[in-house]
Structure 1
Amino acid sequence: MKKKNLPFMASFLVVCLILIGCGTEENNVTLDKGRITLQVATTSKSTSIVNGRVTNVNKLSFTKGKIKFREVVFDGDLGGRSISITHEQIAVIDYATGTISPSVFLEVDPGEYKNVNLGIEIQDDGSDPSIVIEGTYISSDEKTIPVRFEFNSGEVFEADAESVKITAGSNIVGKITFDALEWFSVISAEALDNATLTNGVMIISETSNSGIFDQVADRLDVATQAVFM
């Protein structure tokens, strides 16, 4: 598994920078700058796990958790110049709601940026996992098993886009979608049925059910694009 500079995962799916207007309110960006505010959407629906056929059991769902990060970076080419803006701030994403606490934003010079990159560096807290996602799995014998996915590394997740136009005084939303079900889409029902339980919980980490963990972690290598609207 890669330990740094991972492209942003497919399970993180899409980064959308959406123009939502401008103004002169106290909390708005300085008038000669543009603001990028980070937002998050999460997926908490359930899905059937395919093991040769789709069944009414083998349902996997994720409903809560946290993602802790320490840095957001915006890179792009502006008029032939390479621009890089780094914002260091420890913040936590609530997987259940998508809420980021505290709020995170970057102020950037106006202009039309090419070859844009938006990166997020996950906080490395030593033995404390920086990503924890929890849910349930309904096994083939119809037992409901708590599931806990733990990921602990100072990874840099990145998403790219061809261009984005930022105007002075505007508010731009950088929206990231986290989809834990997509991370687990390569895992069979048989693998989950045979997973080791710790005090009744299916913990998936580097040290517990590591075979499943490695497959899920490899999903982080799938690049995605940023979409600007």
Structure 2
Amino acid sequence: MTQKKSLTVLSILTVILAFSMGCSDDDSLNTDATIRLVATTTSTTTATKKMPVNDLQFTSGSITFREIIFDGENGTNSVSRTKEQIANIDYATGTVSPEVLITIPSGTYTAVNLGIELQDENDKPTVVIEGTFTNSSEEMLPIRFEFNSGEVFEANAASVEIPEGVDLVGKINFDALNWFSTISATELDNANLTDGVIIISETNNASIFDKVADRLDVDTQAVFE
């Protein structure tokens, strides 16, 4: 896995976010708009999603990040904000805590980039998602996906309108079922168990992990609302 991957989307990130940040290239600009980061996950959607093979569901977990970066062009001015703060996304609820706020000058932005860097300081996984898998013998087994990397996820937009005094939401969507969309029921049926749990990580069921980690980058999408 590379240390940095890009997500090119027409809009911008799904996570709960609203920061007070660094400096702009033009200090004369008024800082009067706020972006709040919020998250949606498979478990927060109204409809229950299942894989087209057997029954795979993800209901809990956490995603830990350490830094958010905003860059964009506001007219002739370049605006850049960086917020270093460790925060956690609850996969069950989409809640981001503690709340992180970013304030920027209002206006129409072009060449917008919003990046999130995952926490990566020790062996503790940055992303842990848990659920259940019903195998071909109709046994319901616990399953846990563990991802440990200081990757940076980036979302880009050609143009975003950020009105004065508006609390804008940058929303990022984490959908673990989509991450597993290229994994067959047979692969999960044949996965190794650790104390009765299907653990998908760099060191457990590594061939499945590689496929899921690739989809994590591709399928993590975001929008501005």
TM-score (norm 1): 0.83
- Percent of pairs with identical residues: 57
Q: What letter corresponds to residue 137 of structure 2 in structure 1?
A: D
**Cα deviation digits, residues 58-82 of structure 1 (max 9, x gap):** 1000000000000111111121333
List aligned pairs for 1:1-229, cutoff 5 A. 1-4=1-4, 6-8=5-7, 15=13, 32-44=31-43, 45-50=48-53, 58-222=54-218, 226-229=222-225
Query: Which SS does the other structure have where 1:211 is aligned?
Result: helix
Q: What letter corresponds to residue 47 of structure 1 in structure 2?
A: K
In 1, the alpha carbon distance for the partners of 2:103 and 2:14 equals: 17
Q: 1:14 and 1:167, CA in 2 relative to 1: closer, same or farther beyond 3 A?
A: closer
- Which runs of at least 4 in structure 1 moved beyond 4 Å after TM superposition? 223-226
Q: What letter corresponds to residue 101 of structure 1 in structure 2?
A: S
Query: Which SS does the other structure have where 1:129 is aligned?
Result: coil
**Cα deviation digits, residues 21-69 of structure 1 (max 9, x gap):** xxxxxxxxxx85100011111112341344xxxxxxx100000000000
Query: Which SS does the other structure have where 1:220 is aligned?
Result: helix
CA contact (8 A) 1:7 1:223 kept: no
**Cα deviation digits, residues 178-203 of structure 1 (max 9, x gap):** 10001000100110000000000000
Gap runs ≥5 in structure 1: 18-30, 51-57
Q: CA RMSD in A?
A: 2.2
CA contact (8 A) 2:64 2:118 kept: yes
Q: 1:166 and 1:228, CA in 2 relative to 1: closer, same or farther beyond 3 A?
A: same
Q: 1:68 and 1:226, CA in 2 relative to 1: closer, same or farther beyond 3 A?
A: closer
Gap runs ≥5 in structure 2: 16-29
Measured after TM superposition, the shift of residue 141 of structure 1 is 1.0
CA contact (8 A) 1:139 1:189 kept: yes
